[in-house]
Structure 1
Amino acid sequence: MIQIQIWADFECPYCYFQTIVLENLQAKYQGRLEIVWRAFELIPVEGQVTPSQSYKDNFETAKSEPIVLKEGLEFLVPTFLTYTWLAQESVYFANSQGLSLKLARALFDAFFLGGLDISSEEVVMKIASKVGLDIQQLRQALDNGKLTKQVMADEQEFKTYGFQGLPAMLIGEKNFSPRSFMPITGYKTLEELLEILPK
């Protein structure tokens, strides 16, 4: 089985695109591809902040990607950026239930298409419930602090691999050492990933 580990941030439009591509790829591989969510927060802020001009410029550029038209994505221009740690911990937890990609997509949709505050526990729990996550187990995992340690470890590992941007991926055969995986940085289309994946 092929495994793709992906580091992504919920306020990065290219990470959103990559999640959609991975959904399509997973459907194509029919159980022969495992996606593991790894956490990295680009803008670790408390509360809400106004997007910088560079963020707005990057967002406008991202909207011209072919996948936006193909998927019929009707973006709302983000009016704020917020703390996404809760979302990251929740999707990391969803790895254990095979729902990380589904939850990640729903959170991206909520932020970029719905303009919702994904730092809100109420919002995240409602979305997690809709995708089939066990909310009671999620709350317990969030409360005991283990997910926080895992997310912090993910961010540190991102740095050890020398990744310079998001999305970032490791691609290889499951159960082999991550050091044997191919590191990939930057958004890749479905066609590009099909060329990269082990045959």
Structure 2
Amino acid sequence: MNEITVEIWADVICPWCYIGKRKFETALARFEHRDAVRVRWRSYELDPTTPKDIDETIAGRMLRRQGIPPEQAAQLLAGVSEMAAAEGLEYHLDKARPVNTFDAHRVVHLAADHGLAEPFQERLMRAYTAEGASLADRETLLRLATEAGLDAHAVGRTLDGDDYAADVRADEERADRFGVSAVPSFVFAEEWVTSGAQSADVFTDLLQRSVSLR
């Protein structure tokens, strides 16, 4: 059968995006035509103004921006971690540092050119949610990319230049055309858009609808 395209807009510092990724993978694994599905990862920055070198926890950001006290923030993050655990993910969000992700997205595009977008996305999301890695740090990105199978020299050249910057911006402009304003967001066959970490059943239904167009 013809190819089915699923575009996923995500930010690598979005805990919900990792949960949504797992739920989508559950749906895809049981989908009869999974071999015909092509997944395209699209860049989305939750906050493009965030500095690269900021040293702030999620709870600290919640206090600074929304006035949420540490105790309440801890409860909210614990709830997210419980939902992640239900999908087999281990979160330590007290370690997470929500930094600028523009360079990380550029390297995701490099990874896509080498057929490694999915493993690199996986490695970035795990590093952020479980390991407290700074995804704006050059050496950290270089290490994570090589762990995902990318060539270290190619990654270094990308990080030291402006390669794929236009691709990140193009993804963000494409998000506007589909009305994507939150992540994770999934666009099936350029027809159906759903946002949030939906259930596997919802994703399965959208995959089945996409088949009907082909």
Name the CA distance, whole Å, in 2 between partners of 1:90 and 1:155.
16
**Which residue of 1 is the match for residue 37 of structure 2?**
33
Residue 120 (structure 2) aligns with: 103
2:8, 2:21 → 1: CA distance? 9
Distance 1:91 1:24 in 2: 22
Matched with 1:7 is 9
Residues 34 and 5 of structure 1: CA distance in aligned 2, closer, same or farther (over 3 Å): same
Q: Which amino acid is the alignment partner of residue 38 of structure 2?
A: E
Distance in 2 between residues matched to 1:159 and 1:72, nearest whole Å: 30
Instruction: Give the partner amino acid of 2:81.
Output: K
Q: Give how far 1:26 is off.
A: 5.0
Aligned partner of residue 76 in structure 1, secondary structure: coil
3-state SS in 2 of match to 1:38: strand
| Cα contact 1:23–1:101 (8 A) shared by 2 | no
- CA RMSD in angstroms, aligned pairs only: 2.4
8 Å Cα contact 1:20/1:105 also seen in 2: no
Native 8 Å contact 2:28 2:204 kept in 1: no
Q: Name the SS of the counterpart of 1:51 in structure 2.
A: helix
1:168 CA drift (Å): 1.0
- Could you tell me how far apart the structure 1 residues matched to 2:172 and 2:113 are? 19
For residues 40 and 189 of structure 1, the distance between their equivalents in structure 2, rounded to whole angstroms, comes to: 22
Partner SS state of residue 63, structure 1: helix
The 3 A distance-change label for structure 1 pair 62 and 74 is: closer
Q: How many residues align?
A: 191
- Whether the aligned pair in 2 keeps the contact of 1:39 and 1:155 (CA below 8 Å) is yes
Unaligned 5+ residue runs, structure 2?
none
Question: 1:186 corresponds to which letter in structure 2?
Answer: G
1:7 maps to a residue whose letter is W
Name which one, 1 or 2, has greater alpha-carbon Rg: 2
Query: Cα gap change, 1:188/1:19 in structure 2, threshold over 3 Å: closer, same or farther?
Result: same
How far, CA to CA, are the matches of 1:138 and 1:186 in structure 2? 30
1:193 to 203, 206, 213: 203
Residue 92 of structure 2 corresponds to 75
CA contact (8 A) 1:51 1:79 kept: no
Change (3 A) 1:79 1:194: closer
The aligned amino acid for 1:91 is V
Deviations 1:10-42 (A, max 9, x none): 221111112223444555555322211111111
Structure 1 pair 126–27 and aligned structure 2 pair: CA distance change class (3 A): farther
Question: Which residue, 135, 146, 165 being the options, matches 1:129?
Answer: 146
- After TM superposition, the structure 1 stretch with the greater mean CA deviation from structure 2, 50-59 or 134-143, is 50-59
The whole-number CA distance in structure 2 between the counterparts of 1:101 and 1:26 is 14
Using the alignment, how far apart are the partners of 2:42 and 2:197 within structure 1?
A: 15
Which residues in structure 2 correspond to 1:12-161 (within 5 Å)?
12-28=14-30, 31-44=35-48, 45-46=50-51, 47-48=53-54, 49=56, 50-53=60-63, 56=73, 59-65=77-83, 67-78=84-95, 80-161=97-178
Identity of aligned residues (%): 21
Q: TM-score, structure 1 length as denominator?
A: 0.83
Gaps of 5+ in 1: 173-179
1:25 to 1:140, Cα distance in 2 relative to 1, 3 A: farther
